[in-house]
Structure formats: C-alpha cells, structure tokens
Structure 1
Amino acid sequence: MYAERRTGLAGAVSWTSVAPARRTTRVLPDGCVDLLWSSRAGLLVAGPDRTAYVSTSGPGERWVGLRFPPGVGPAVLGVPADELRDARVPLAALWGDRAVGALAGLAAEDPAAVLLAVAADRLAAAGGTDPVGARVAAAAATGTPVTAIAAEVGLAPRQLHRRCQHLFGYGPKTLTRILRLQRALALARAGTPLAGVAARCGYADQAHLTRDVRDLAGLPPTALLR
C-alpha cells in the first residue's frame, strides 16, 4: 500500500507506505534525499544512493516520507549530500537529540504535516534552494554532456564536480547515469520496447541498457518491470 502526492515545497513529494506483512522493497537510485518517519524507527534521513537499497519493513509498519528533488536536500538538512551518500541515518545524528526529541511526539500524531512544516521552516531559514542544483539536475535529466552542463552553469569542470558532490552526493557523470536509469524505466513502464528505450535514452544498444540497469538497480530491466 503506497501513495504519494506533490507538495508546494520546492517540488518535494509526500508519500506514505504501509506493510501488511513483512516485506522487502528495492529502492532504486534517483538522486533524491528523503526525510522519513517510521512507526518503528522514528525520524530518519535517507541519503542519495548510488545503487539500489533494499529496505525491510515489519508487519504493519507505517512509513511517511518527504522526498526532495535532486539538489534540494542539503538546504533543508544543513548537511552536504555526500555525507549522507548510501546511508540511512537517524535525524538526531544530524540535528541533535534535543531538536529531534521535540519533533518526535508531534510526528507520531501527524507525520506528513510535521515533516512538511519543519522542512519548509528550515528551507526558508537557509534562504531557499541552490539555483545551480536545479539547472544541473534539469540538464543531467536530458542527458546533456558534463562539459556542456559546466558551460551552461558557468563552472569549471572541477568546480562543477565539487558542487555536485555537495548537492547530489556524487559527481555529474553519476548523476546523469542515475537520471538516465529513471528515464529509461519510465519509458519502459509506459510500453516502449527496450530496444527503443535504449535508443531514446542514449545507450549504445539494448545490451548496454541491460548492463547499466543491472549495475545500478541490482536486476536487469526485464526483472524490474515484472
């Protein structure tokens, strides 16, 4: 049981999930950072992944999350994305026990509202999102070469790499590869044959698509689509 809705906060998506029985879920890399509440584990942060993360939920466990688009999470959390890469950490490890303790009771009553409110407050205090992040993510999502992205945002390649590490948790090449994965799977789920997906997304051929999806997601595209 999973549902999501868009919010008015910097493109963030609010989502909920309830596991009727013990369940494992394969979470694919997407360049995003999530602020989470679990009925079992409390308040957590999910950093940007380089490969699929397999999450296990207990029977009846309820999850509520606020997923920030690529590049937005650091402004909300106050932590560079590369410090959270491939990690799931308690929110208290970032903000301290006192600050998170005050949120915990409120979150248990209405986690979606609390996550959104605290994220909005912190984003406003930070002065909003980094505009470079949105521009880089938009260019990477269309498969723009890294050199062209650097020129578009007015940064030298090394500067772009450092900025991407902070905003996304990894360099622009990895970001582009991950966003291409997401684009490819969206096309495949919409009914585009895999050969056509490979051609439209810039893979050398279908075999290249299969290898790249397996490397990032842990399964070939045919298995993911099933």
Structure 2
Amino acid sequence: MTIVPAHPRSAALAPFVATLSAYDLGPAGVHRGLPSTTVSITIPEDTLEIAWLGRPGSRTRSRAVVAGLHLDPAELRQRGGTRGVWLTLSPLGAAALLGVPAAALAGHLADLADVAPALADLPERLAACRSWPRRRALVEDALLAGLARHGDHAAGPDLRAALSALSATGRVGRAADLLGCSRRRLSSTVRGALGVTPKEFQRLLRFEAARAGLAAARTGAVSLASVAATCGFADQAHLTREWRAMAGCTPAEWLRAR
C-alpha cells in the first residue's frame, strides 16, 4: 500500500488519531492488514473485500471497514479504483470519536455504518471531493463532530497510565509494579477497555516496533537479528515465529512482497 503523507491534524484530534492518509493499493489492489495497537478505518473509492487470512468463509464486502485490535493478519482486496482514505485511531480514540469502546471492536471487521451510524454517509461525501486536502478536511470535521458527541467517553487516567506502563517495559509484572497495582487489576483495566490482555497488547507493541525496524533491514542498514534484539525478541527465530503467527509470513517474505 502506498500512503500519501498526512498533513498536520487538529490539536483536538491528536490524542486520538494516529494516522490520516490517502492511500493507493497499486495495480494489484491487494493489501495485507497487519496487527497493530490501533483501530483502523479504511474508506475506499469503491467497495472493499476483506477477510482474515487462513479463515475460510470470512470474506465480506463493505463500503468502509473498521478493524479492531487483532493479532491475526487480514487481506484487503479493492477492485477498480484502488485509492481511498485510511485512518488509524489510538486505543483511546474509538470511544472518544466513534462512541464505541475498542473492546467492542477487538478481533472484528465491521462496516463503518454499523459501528458509527453518524458516519454512514462519509464514503459518499468523500467520493464527491476532488482533492486530498478537501477529503482530509471532511474526515477531520466528521471526527471532530464525533468528539463533540462522544468526548465524555474518552478513557480516564487509569487506562492511560496502564498503557504507558505497558509501553515502558516488556513485562506485564513490571508494568503492574510501576503502577503500584496487582496484575489482576492491570488485566481488568486493559482487557475491559481494549478487548486484549496486557500480554497481547505488549505483543502488538513489539510487533509494531519490529515492523518499523524491518524498514531499515530492507535497505540493508541493519540485520534481522539486530531488529529482533532491539525490539525485545529473544532471538531472530523468535521474531520469525511471531511474524508467522501475526502476519502469516516470515519477515523475509514480507520484505520481498513489499
């Protein structure tokens, strides 16, 4: 997927929107949706086919797709026009902007109109726009309207502190120590809000770090072993196992496909 660089976002949206970009899937019109710590929304120019890799019968067609936090790869196929708008929301953004907690979306692919009925007409409104700046402004306006409706659902300080602690260390027990709470309390807070366990959230963090590190490996600047060590994997074999499980391919296969 080719991403057109995003422009600066509204300060009000910054805590909740991680990415807002135009995209182009290229001639093949196929993209592999990898696990991440964000809730993603894909709004194509036309309809989109999406499925979980390795799950027969999971393919559906949608006008706009919302993907919750997940630990398995998805496949997106777009025929005809291969362009669209792609945005990712922080774990806190789903409740604040869509009015739906991230936990309700975890492991699911859903139509945007079902998740946020107020945004049901957004794909058609975007299709009528002739430039990326106008599309970006339209999406930001829609999100700001959502924030006005649902902003009081934004996560409180306990969840923010929990996610910060989990990001600061690779061990759940250590994160609980940093927070001064039990592992059970930490698990209840995170799972109740995000729909994944603290350990799963850390797996997603580590996977995201490895994905960024592989960009350097692709240019030959670093080795896969170095990426594994830097991102907290036991060794390169551990990195490869996690990528097979979470991306459906090895790091080397993913780099070749890119």
Q: Same fold judged by TM-score > 0.5?
A: yes
Q: Which runs of 5+ in 2 are unaligned?
A: 48-62, 130-134
In the alignment, structure 1 residue 40 sits paired with structure 2 residue 46 = yes
**Aligned equivalent of 2:125:** 106
The Cα shift of 1:22 comes to: 4.2
Deviations 1:64-114 (A, max 9, x none): 122112332222222122321232212221233xx3455454333344323
Q: Which runs of 5+ in 1 are unaligned?
A: none
In the alignment, structure 1 residue 204 sits paired with structure 2 residue 234 = yes
Describe the SS at the equivalent of 1:127: helix
Describe the SS at the equivalent of 2:5: strand
Task: Report if the CA contact (8 A) 2:40-2:68 is conserved.
Answer: yes
- Percent identity at matched positions? 29
> CA 1:20–1:210 in structure 2 vs 1: closer, same or farther (change >3 Å)?
closer
**Aligned equivalent of 1:115:** 139
Task: Report if the CA contact (8 A) 1:33-1:69 is conserved.
Answer: yes
**Aligned equivalent of 1:79:** 100
The Cα shift of 1:174 comes to: 0.6
Please give the TM-score of this superposition, normalised by the length of structure 1.
Answer: 0.84
Describe the SS at the equivalent of 2:87: strand
Q: What is the alpha-carbon distance in structure 2 between the residues aligned to residue 151 and residue 181 of structure 1?
A: 24
Q: What is the alpha-carbon distance in structure 1 between the residues aligned to residue 222 and residue 22 of structure 2?
A: 29
**Superposed counterparts of 1:16-95, under 5 Å:** 16-41=22-47, 42-95=63-116
> CA 1:4–1:150 in structure 2 vs 1: closer, same or farther (change >3 Å)?
farther
**Aligned equivalent of 1:219:** 249
Please give the TM-score of this superposition, normalised by the length of structure 2.
Answer: 0.75
Q: What is the alpha-carbon distance in structure 2 between the residues aligned to residue 206 and residue 26 of structure 1?
A: 22
> CA 1:225–1:132 in structure 2 vs 1: closer, same or farther (change >3 Å)?
farther
The Cα shift of 1:198 comes to: 1.9
Task: Report if the CA contact (8 A) 1:161-1:171 is conserved.
Answer: yes
Task: Report if the CA contact (8 A) 1:31-1:168 is conserved.
Answer: no
RMSD: 2.5
The Cα shift of 1:149 comes to: 2.1
Deviations 1:114-154 (A, max 9, x none): 32222223224423742444443344334432123234345
